[in-house]
Amino acid sequence: MTTVRSLRLGEAVLGGGVLALGVFIAVETARLEVAPSHTTIGPRLFPSLIAGGLIVIGLLVLREAFFGHVAHERGRFELDWLAVGLVSAGLVAQMLLLETLGWIPASTLLFVAAARAFGSRRLLLDMVIGLALTGAAFVVFNAGLGLTLPTGTAIERLLPGGGDDSGE
Amino acid sequence: METLAALAHGFAVALTPMNLLWSALGVTVGTAIGVLPGIGPALTVALLLPITYDLDPTAAFIMFGGIYYGAMYGGSTTAILLNTPGESGSIVTAIDGHEMARQGRGAQALAIAAIGSFVAGTIATLALTFVAPALVKLALLFGPAEYFALMVLALTTVTAVLGDSLVRGLASLFFGLALGLVGIDLQTGQARFTLGIPELLDGIDTVVVAVGLFAIGETLYNAARFRFETEEIYALEGSIWMSREDWARSWKPWLRGTLLGFPIGALPAGGSEIPTFLSYLVEKRLAKKPEEFGKGAIEAVAGPEAANNASVAGTLAPLLSLGLPTSATAAIMLAAFQQYGLQPGPLLFDSNPELVWGMIASLYIGNLLLLILNLPMAGVWVKLLAIPRPWLYGGILVFATLGAYTLNNNVVDLVILWLIGVLGFAMRVLDVPIAPCVVGLILGPLAEQQFRRALAISQGDPSVFLTHPLSLTLLIVAALLVAGPVILRRRARRAEREAAAA
């Protein structure tokens, strides 16, 4: 029973999300200020069609969620939320720290968090491999391919591509 | 004859040392990402877009073509030895291929897959060589109304055919279309759905969406499922040489697989999954010993593997000649054309023959390189499977964020990447297919452009789409594709109810 209920819940979340997106686009489209000469085939028509489509689809999914038979009874709802949270937190930490700490420390943090989420227990080894990987990427992409991955205060300056020649 | 001359010129382009190197690099990278679970050709091409920005477009497309072909070869290795399809096109191969590996015939299964891929790839590339110019002639008859109708058809087929729930496919498609709306409206300069964020004026980058859905979303999903799934890798066992009987049982499935794969890839019907499933069913129907299917039947590896390679060449035909992507990877390649300011279609064949024909010629070469890479060197690729999952997925995340950040050197792209990744995770959990979203994102703005152009020409009269015979036909086919399965299912359900009542 619980799996069917969680399936219905998932279905309801999907339908609600699609419906909400449709309503949002419809409202935003109505609020668009459009020059009068463009009223027939202006920038509003296509978004209106998409909003309409989203609303209809959202309602269809919701109807299936509450009244229909559940189409997807494969029950993939056994999920390790802790691992998802770890990967997600790694990504957030990287985007917050990237431009202050620099590419290598921020991305190593992401690497270690992801490795932990996939069951690795060897923190130190993960760190060494993360440092090597992000360091190699920094050298190849900044010095070799002319991209500008962010240089932080410590590590990157010691590597080719991280010095003053990158425009700092 | 014209075509052969053009192809000869293409070979002259593709055989220059630098381009040979790009082709070799492409097929090698392609095989590697095909072997590795968690990354596919769409993601790889998306990640390479920022890096190839300064590269000559011909070289870049020679490499992309190699990656697309290579991924289909590599995908079979993972399917056979690990029972986790590396690509969606190898799902069917995994059924009997893995069974063969379990019986110690893994090497033979790999050989059947590799040679079959080569046979199919070569025939299908030959077909592409002649079909593409023919499609170009057809494209010359197209006006904006026809292009719009064709795009509607492509969008509906990608949606209706993939996944087993039409509503879910449509939800994914419309989500992609909605993402495509963000940014400045090209015709009027009006900003739409930017929420006042200046970084969104240029729209949401295709690369960010593709990488978010395919890399971040997939990784989150795999992290969530990692504890609950076990992998068993089978060592490469058995003779790599196929016996006389193996050949006898393989060659017909190869040809039939090719015959299914190329046209279905080319008719906007959504990539490589369908032809592989069809090929499996056909082979089972025709087999002398259908009871072997599911227990390591050679035909069940040979047919689908040929079909998925042929479908790749098929996908390239409408992409090059009409600018119409029919798979997620083709959609990303269309984004690559846009990055270079090129518009695939009849004009491209006129203005950039060395790109088009160089790429097609390089596919013949790449296919040969892939046979060499995958037959004697299969053991090397198997080693890739031994990379511990924590480091593999850690690495995927590092390179995914690298690709997204370097697009504009802006953290905002990383925030969008994360948001889209979380949405992609939710889609995976809720069983919503991802390809319609990517194709919708890229085709949506193009469809809107053609839609408004057609209406501008007809001075606002919406009947243009119905009065042009070509456009009408395409729209009817699209409507049938959406309505047909629904009506059939209704009818089946009613019949069931009547049977139950009786």
Q: Which residue has the tokens 């490795």?
A: A115
Single out the residue in A78, A106, A130 at which a domain terminates. Answer: A78
Query: From the first residue on, what is the mean pLDDT of each consecutive set of 10 residues in chain A (168 residues)?
Result: 66 91 90 65 83 93 77 62 95 93 93 94 94 91 80 75 50
The answer to whether residue A108 is domain-embedded is yes
Same domain, A84 and A155: yes
Q: Under an 8 A CB cutoff, do A119 and B187 touch?
A: no
User: Is residue A83 within 8 angstroms of chain B, CB to CB?
Assistant: yes
**pLDDT (tens digit per residue) in B128-146:** 999 999 989 888 888 889 9
Q: Under an 8 A CB cutoff, do A57 and B164 touch?
A: no
Q: What is the ipTM of this complex?
A: 0.88
Task: From chain A, pick out residues whose CB is under 8 angstroms from the CB of B402.
Answer: 107, 137, 141, 149
The answer to whether residue A168 is domain-embedded is no
Same domain, A126 and A65: no
| pLDDT values of chain B reduced to their tens digit, one per residue, 502 residues | 688 899 999 999 999 999 999 999 999 999 999 888 878 888 888 888 877 878 899 999 999 999 999 998 888 888 888 877 766 778 888 888 888 888 888 888 999 999 999 999 999 999 999 999 998 988 888 888 999 998 888 888 777 766 567 788 889 999 999 999 888 887 777 788 888 788 788 888 888 998 999 899 989 999 998 888 777 777 777 777 788 888 888 889 999 999 988 988 887 655 677 888 889 888 888 888 888 888 888 899 999 999 999 999 999 999 999 888 888 889 899 989 988 989 898 889 988 999 999 999 999 999 999 999 888 888 888 888 888 999 999 999 999 999 899 888 889 999 999 999 999 999 988 888 888 898 889 888 888 888 888 888 888 788 888 888 889 998 998 888 777 767 777 777 777 777 777 6
Distance from CA of A103 to the nearest CA of B (A): 9
A13 is in which domain, residue-wise? 1-78
Every domain of chain B and the residues it spans: 2-501
**pLDDT (tens digit per residue) in B145-159:** 999 998 888 888 777
Single out the residue in A38, A59, A78 at which a domain terminates. Answer: A78
Same domain, A92 and A40: no
User: Is residue A149 within 8 angstroms of chain B, CB to CB?
Assistant: yes
Q: Are A131 and A166 in contact (CB under 8 A)?
A: no
How many domains does chain A fold into? 2
Q: Under an 8 A CB cutoff, do B418 and A86 touch?
A: no
Q: Can you name the residues that pair with B184 across neighbouring β-strands?
A: B191
User: Is residue B242 within 8 angstroms of chain A, CB to CB?
Assistant: no
Same domain, A74 and A84: no
Return the pLDDT at B194.
80
User: Is residue A13 within 8 angstroms of chain B, CB to CB?
Assistant: yes
What percentage of chain B reaches a pLDDT higher than 90? Answer: 32
Same domain, A159 and A87: yes
Distance from CA of B334 to the nearest CA of A (A): 22
Q: Which CA distances in Å does A157 have to A109, A112, A163, A165?
A: 19, 22, 5, 11
User: Is residue A26 within 8 angstroms of chain B, CB to CB?
Assistant: no
The answer to whether residue A91 is domain-embedded is yes
CA distance B296 to B489: 33
Same domain, A89 and A155: yes
Listed in sequence order, the residues at least 6 apart from B172 whose beta carbon sits closer than 8 Å to its beta carbon are B159, B427, B432, B433, B434, B435, B436, B437, B440
> Does the predicted model carry a pTM greater than 0.80?
yes
Same domain, A97 and A47: no
Single out the residue in A39, A56, A78 at which a domain terminates. Answer: A78
A 29-48 residues with CB < 8 A to B: 32-35, 38, 40-43, 45-47
